[in-house]
A and B are shown apart, each in its own frame.
Chain A
Amino acid sequence: MSAPLTASAAAAAIAPGARPATGFWRRALRHRSFVLGAGLSLLVLGAALLSLVWTPWSAYDIDVASKLHPPSAAHWLGTDVLGRDIVSLLLVGARSTIMVGVIAVGIGLTFGVCLGLIAAARKGWIEELIMRLSDFTFAFPAVLSAIMLAAVAGPGMLTSTTAIGIFQIPTFVRVTRGSANAIWAREFVLAARAAGKGSFRITIEHVLPNILSILIVQATIQFALAILAEAALSYLGLGTQPPQPSWGRMLNDAQTLLFQSPMLAVYPGAAIAIAVLGLNLLGDGLRDLLDPRLARER
């Protein structure tokens, strides 16, 4: 994980109060990985939105008589083992995926950034406590904490999403504190302090705006990780529960059919790959675009 390092390096380079250049969109459209990443991410988002209003078939309708049909005009990618339309399942699955990503990253971002800002502003034993606690949480992989939560609260989308969210908190705490510390050492913060502003105001007015771009980049990467974690948990049966479609569970269902219909595993696998690749490219692109030093070098 080199993201926190590059992120703090980027923070050090951002000029006080600097905003991304006005030609941001012009530069963005010329940035290949950003365009590709944004395109793929929008594709997934579009699929999820589309599934809210339209799917070729119902993703919940089971029709055993037409199970495992090959691709046809009626079923563009064929049907699964219970006769459900693959395209519809993929579309609705995108919704679960995005929902899990948004909620998990939301949990991680909210708690992580708050704690990270407090640690940077307060120092002393509070900082020690927060950082040691986040080290402690960091030691538990998301899958393990999800299994623990599932044992207590029963498996389900809510449990798995919460577990992934909790797992993401320490990452955000570290990134936030590291880059916030760099801002706190700057002269303009000293000036604000001399002018009599309190830690809270300085944090809100000076620190947060200056680390925002780093957080955005980090959030995109964490979003991709959340999607992977959700797929893994659903594959293990701890995530999204049937009949709610999910890419991870589609993979699990396809596993026993690898010899007969290998394509059943390829479709959800490709969907997960597209979503994760898109978000990673988008994150990379954003980092380049929001980092003035890298922008100048180009």
Chain B
Amino acid sequence: MLRKLCVIAAVAMLTAAPLPSLAQGKKDSVVMGMTLEPPGLDPTNAAAAAIAEVTLYNIYETLTKINEDGSVSPLLAESWQASPDLKTYTFKLRKGVKFHNGEPFDSAAVKFSYERAAAPASTNKDRSLYQAFTSVTTPDADTIVIALKYSEPNLPFLLGQASGSIVEPKSAPTDVTQPVGTGPYTLGSWAKGSSMTLVKWPEYRNAAAIKLAKVTIRFIGDPAAQVAALLSGDVDAFPRVGAARSLAQFKADPRFSVLIGGSKAKTIVGINERKKPLDDVRVRRAILAAIDRKAMIDGAVDGFGTPIGSFYTPGSLGYVDTTGINPYDPELAKKLLAEAGVKTPLELSLKLPPPAYARQGGEILAAQLAKVGIIAKIENVEWAQWLSQVFTGPHNYDLTIVSHVEPFDLVKLTEPDYYLGYKSEAFNALYQQIMATPDESGRAKLLGDAQRMLATDAVAGFLFQPQWITIASKKLKGVWKEVPQFENDFSTWSWE
């Protein structure tokens, strides 16, 4: 028995020893960690943010590129011009670009991609944007003209998202498993459930500027395992890592750089306004008054968040601080519940998806609500269940906690089937007015009104804007700190 143990120990040591050294000493390849594995590799047909994290600007490209600071620069389009009413845009396309399969990139491919996204059967997460295109015309192979139903000053930004990836018409149906784009990388291999490799495409138009020949992406869901993988050197970089609690250790370690950046995400307590008594604004305001945002941020995300009072994030156009509209005030909460004629204890279901912010935030929320006489019955659910029960389908829930990572998604609140069930003619009219206002200062003012309206209507328990943590090897350069959207631009990465 003892001999057997010795053999096992020896084998374990032999296999374990070379691992940390693997990540070092290689100058043209990198191992990146990711929390979730993408369900496929076509960002134009599914909403999962993990798809964009792999493909955007790496495999596929878009007409424009959203930079680290949120600004927009040319990518497949060399330049563009908007009409004064911001309803018509003319893009001049880059010449001589090819897809991975050798087909040429031209205005026909762009027209095909956008019309595919707008098709009735399309599952593009931004389908409503592409359906707002009244026409997509191609005067010549290098020019594309887009006409919209309304003024859209953000169009160049919106087209830089993964949902606007330009696909090649012939290969588009198989993009899910065999992606074909114009980007600097192609899919090397994909070991489902474990890892994926992207390899540099030698025929890329600017191949000399791409430093990494190979990128391996490892999928590690468990936060403790993520920390271990970084510490052992198994992964060189981990964007959006779940390591908030081990941060001090990484900061003290000279091998790592720790980047903490803002986001456009909004973590909220979803309140189902289709259900009684939650359709009463006083009950919703009571719930908001019972929430101590500071305790929530400290407990759910270890302090890495900024309080928000509405469905909008600091740093965006026209942001106003609305946290004062629904301050933490348990006495007010009790009073509002009494006014609404709600008998306490009021029992509500609280369905929580898997991330730690939701599970821990849920326990804190339940404890805070209990103090004002609301019993939140916690039910932990998996993502698939959450999507089918809460988000789509029957909207069978009272309360939930979730983080919305898309930038500028006020439009969701005008959609009648959105899971929050918010129905307000006034808000819909205001949103139309925002869309019809081309000048920036006028829009900023209207956006401020919209935020105040959402806060006053207590559409949801607006909690905080989360901050994302990226940990990378100190020698790895070009890793983004700010994260305007979920992406990893490998073309900017290089080893020192």
Q: Which residues of A contact B (CB under 8 A)?
A: 60-62, 64-65, 67, 81-83, 154-155, 237, 241-243, 255-260
- CB-based contact A60/B367 at 8 Å: yes
- CB-based contact B227/A65 at 8 Å: no
Contacts of B299 in A (CB 8 A): 62, 64, 67, 81-83
Contacts of A81 in B (CB 8 A): 299, 360
Task: Name the CB-closest residue of B to A154.
Answer: B379
Q: How large is the interface on B (under 10, 10 to 19, 20 to 34, 35 or more residues)?
A: 20 to 34
Contacts of B227 in A (CB 8 A): 259
The answer to whether A243 and B360 touch (CB under 8 A), given A81-B299, A154-B379, is no
Q: Which residues of B contact A (CB under 8 A)?
A: 222-224, 227-228, 242, 245-246, 249, 295, 298-299, 356, 359-360, 362-364, 366-368, 370, 378-380
Contacts of B249 in A (CB 8 A): 259-260
Additional 10 contacts, C-beta under 8 A, given A64-B298, A82-B360: A62-B364, A65-B295, A81-B299, A81-B360, A155-B380, A243-B366, A256-B223, A256-B224, A256-B356, A258-B224
- CB-based contact B379/A155 at 8 Å: yes
- CB-based contact A64/B364 at 8 Å: yes
- CB-based contact B242/A256 at 8 Å: yes
The answer to whether A242 and B363 touch (CB under 8 A), given A62-B299, A67-B298, A154-B379, is yes
Query: Can you give 8 contacting A-B residue pairs, CB < 8 Å?
Result: A60-B367, A64-B295, A64-B364, A155-B379, A155-B380, A243-B367, A259-B224, A259-B227
A101 → chain B closest CB, angstroms: 23
Task: Name the CB-closest residue of A to B350.
Answer: A242
Task: Name the CB-closest residue of A to B359.
Answer: A242
- CB-based contact A242/B378 at 8 Å: yes
The answer to whether A259 and B363 touch (CB under 8 A), given A64-B298, A237-B380, is no
From DSSP, what is the main secondary structure of chain A's interface residues? loop
Task: Name the CB-closest residue of B to A61.
Answer: B367
CA distance A279 to B321 in the complex (A): 59
- CB-based contact A82/B363 at 8 Å: yes
Task: Name the CB-closest residue of A to B296.
Answer: A64
- CB-based contact A243/B379 at 8 Å: no
Contacts of A155 in B (CB 8 A): 379-380
Task: Name the CB-closest residue of B to A83.
Answer: B299
CA distance A62 to B300 in the complex (A): 12
Task: Name the CB-closest residue of A to B223.
Answer: A256
- CB-based contact B378/A241 at 8 Å: yes
Contacts of B364 in A (CB 8 A): 62, 64, 82
Partner among A60, A82, A243, A256 whose Cβ is within 8 Å of the Cβ of B245: A256
Partner among B246, B298, B370 whose Cβ is within 8 Å of the Cβ of A65: B298
Partner among A61, A82, A83, A243 whose Cβ is within 8 Å of the Cβ of B378: A243
| Complex A-B, nearest 7 residue pairs according to Cβ-Cβ distance, in ascending order | A64-B299, A62-B367, A64-B295, A256-B223, A64-B298, A242-B378, A260-B245
Contacts of B362 in A (CB 8 A): 242
Contacts of A65 in B (CB 8 A): 295, 298
Contacts of B246 in A (CB 8 A): 259-260
CA distance A64 to B360 in the complex (A): 11
Task: Name the CB-closest residue of A to B226.
Answer: A256
B256 → chain A closest CB, angstroms: 14
A262 → chain B closest CB, angstroms: 11
Task: Name the CB-closest residue of B to A156.
Answer: B379
B366 → chain A closest CB, angstroms: 6
CA distance A98 to B206 in the complex (A): 67
CA distance A260 to B245 in the complex (A): 7
B382 → chain A closest CB, angstroms: 9
CA distance A263 to B222 in the complex (A): 19
CA distance A65 to B362 in the complex (A): 17
CA distance A83 to B296 in the complex (A): 12
Contacts of B245 in A (CB 8 A): 256-257, 259-260
Contacts of A62 in B (CB 8 A): 295, 299, 363-364, 367-368
CA distance A242 to B370 in the complex (A): 13
CA distance A148 to B228 in the complex (A): 33
Contacts of B242 in A (CB 8 A): 256
Contacts of A260 in B (CB 8 A): 245-246, 249
B19 → chain A closest CB, angstroms: 18
Contacts of A154 in B (CB 8 A): 379
Partner among A242, A258, A259 whose Cβ is within 8 Å of the Cβ of B380: A242
- CB-based contact A243/B363 at 8 Å: yes
- CB-based contact B366/A242 at 8 Å: yes
CA distance A65 to B364 in the complex (A): 12
Task: Name the CB-closest residue of A to B363.
Answer: A242
Task: Name the CB-closest residue of A to B299.
Answer: A64
Task: Name the CB-closest residue of B to A237.
Answer: B380
Contacts of A64 in B (CB 8 A): 295, 298-299, 364
Contacts of A256 in B (CB 8 A): 222-224, 242, 245, 356
